[in-house]
């Protein structure tokens, strides 16, 4: 009988955590099989998040986890950590791994639960070296590793010809971490010089969609910015095929899966070099780095505009971005190998 590894996360959303885990669902290796479980089975997006603070749901999820009798449990995000602790009270004896997905704590409860889990976990995994090095102090002797966050190999959709256009895309949560209002403000600077510029911002509402809509209605450019909401992988690829740049001004990040995807699709990323982004991109080589200080956004706009007017340079940067992820291990393979090591007592 295959040994069961359950990856527990709060709910089945469309963030990087959930999308990565979905690519590994049902995969097996050497008698180990990966499954997903959600604390809140009916929640899909922010509209249902009120239910995610119901303590009864935590207790019920702990019961489901114990009944499932896993051989190993992977805990992602603070709600899953709480359920993991409650599952111990309900008879779950499987070793548990803490999986970190961001270089910063979201709030005090996240900080407290994450550090408590780090002390008791069989191992600590992270989505990037930056997350592992900066999120917390790894307890002495605690096994820790980075899991590859290359979830799939994507074929480029953006051709090198013709010359780049002032078309920008973003996909991710419209939340404070991603700073979408700053992305809009930076795009306005570009649009003033290039009225033909266009921006598409795809993703679920993380609390800032209404503010974005208000900002666009009040200061524009209404005709140049689209907010289509959550998008499937095919829809993202279709939008990306019409763009030349991926634009993201995150305040902080872990791996930033969307940037990895954008590079594979053939876009040149214009991004704040936060989290792991500063390790896998290089300013002027395969990306444009946007200074984390918004006061310097005029410089970022000038750099982007200059690149639009330098097609040979843009094509060189695009080719470097396209080849950056060639040969890297896939997430599903890496997480299975890590699970095997934990179960074998090697970490």
pTM: 0.87
In this predicted model, what pLDDT tens digit does every residue of 232-261 receive, in sequence order? 999 999 999 999 999 999 999 999 999 999
Where do the DSSP E strands lie in 89-175?
A: 96-100, 123-126, 144-146, 167-171
Pairing status of strand 28-29 against strand 32-38: antiparallel
Residue pair 83/108 in contact by the 8 Å Cβ criterion: no
* Segment holding 270, helix H or strand E: strand 268-271
The mean pLDDT value of the chain amounts to: 94
In this predicted model, what pLDDT tens digit does every residue of 259-298 receive, in sequence order? 999 999 999 999 999 999 999 999 999 999 999 999 999 9
* Segment holding 6, helix H or strand E: strand 3-9
Q: How confident is the model at residue 136 (pLDDT cuts 50, 70, 90)?
A: very high
- Is the bond preceding residue 49 a cis peptide, omega within 30 degrees? no
Tell me what the mean pLDDT of segment 176-200 comes to.
Answer: 98
Tell me what the mean pLDDT of segment 53-65 comes to.
Answer: 94
Q: How confident is the model at residue 48 (pLDDT cuts 50, 70, 90)?
A: low
Domains and CATH numbers, the chain: 3-151+329-343 (3.40.50.2000), 167-323 (3.40.50.2000)
Percent of the chain with pLDDT strictly greater than 70: 97
Q: Which residues pair with 295 in a beta bridge?
A: none
Q: How far apart are CA 118 and CA 131, in angstroms?
A: 14
Residue pair 216/188 in contact by the 8 Å Cβ criterion: no
Nearest to 142, CA basis, from 116, 124, 126: 124
Q: How confident is the model at residue 43 (pLDDT cuts 50, 70, 90)?
A: confident
What is the model's pLDDT at position 10?
94
Token output for 111: 């900080």
CA atoms within 13 A on the CB side of 79: 20
Nearest to 1, CA basis, from 33, 24, 26, 27: 33
49-63, 67-81, 105-119, 195-209: least confidently modelled range: 49-63
Q: Is 180 helix (H, G, I), strand (E, B) or coil?
A: helix
Q: How far apart are CA 275 and CA 260, in angstroms?
A: 13
**Does position 161 have pLDDT exceeding 90, yes or no?**
no
């Amino acid at each position: 009988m295959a040994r069961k590894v359950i990856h527990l996360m709060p709910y089945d959303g469309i963030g990087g955590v959930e999308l990565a885990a979905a690519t590994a669902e049902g995969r097996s290796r050497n008698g180990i099989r990966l499954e997903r479980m959600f604390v809140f089975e009916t929640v899909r997006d922010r509209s249902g998040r009120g239910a995610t603070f119901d303590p009864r749901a935590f207790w019920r999820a702990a019961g489901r986890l114990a009944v499932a009798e896993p051989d190993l449990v992977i805990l992602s995000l603070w709600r899953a950590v709480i359920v993991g602790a409650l599952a111990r009270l309900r008879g779950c004896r499987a070793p548990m791994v803490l999986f970190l997905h961001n270089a910063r704590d979201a709030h005090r409860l996240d900080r407290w639960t994450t550090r408590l889990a780090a002390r008791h976990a069989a191992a600590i995994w992270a989505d990037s070296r930056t997350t592992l090095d900066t999120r917390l102090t790894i307890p002495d002797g605690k096994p820790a590793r980075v899991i590859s966050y290359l979830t799939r190999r994507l074929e480029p959709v953006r051709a090198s010809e013709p010359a780049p256009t002032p078309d920008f895309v973003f996909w991710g949560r419209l939340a404070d971490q991603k700073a979408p209002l700053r992305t809009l403000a930076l795009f306005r600077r570009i649009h003033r010089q290039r009225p033909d510029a266009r921006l598409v911002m795809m993703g679920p509402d993380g609390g800032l969609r209404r503010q974005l809509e208000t900002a666009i209605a009040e200061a524009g450019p209404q005709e140049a910015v689209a907010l289509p909401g959550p998008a499937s992988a095919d829809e993202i690829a279709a939008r990306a095929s019409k763009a030349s740049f991926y634009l993201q001004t995150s305040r902080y990040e872990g791996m930033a899966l969307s940037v990895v995807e954008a590079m594979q699709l053939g876009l040149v990323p214009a991004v704040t070099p936060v989290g792991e982004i500063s390790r896998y991109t290089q300013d002027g080589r395969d990306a444009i780095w946007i200074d984390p200080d918004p006061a310097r956004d005029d410089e970022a706009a000038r750099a982007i505009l200059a690149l639009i007017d330098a097609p040979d340079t843009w094509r060189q940067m695009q080719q470097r971005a396209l080849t950056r992820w060639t040969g890297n291990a896939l997430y599903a393979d890496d997480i299975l190998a890590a699970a095997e090591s934990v179960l074998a007592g090697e970490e």
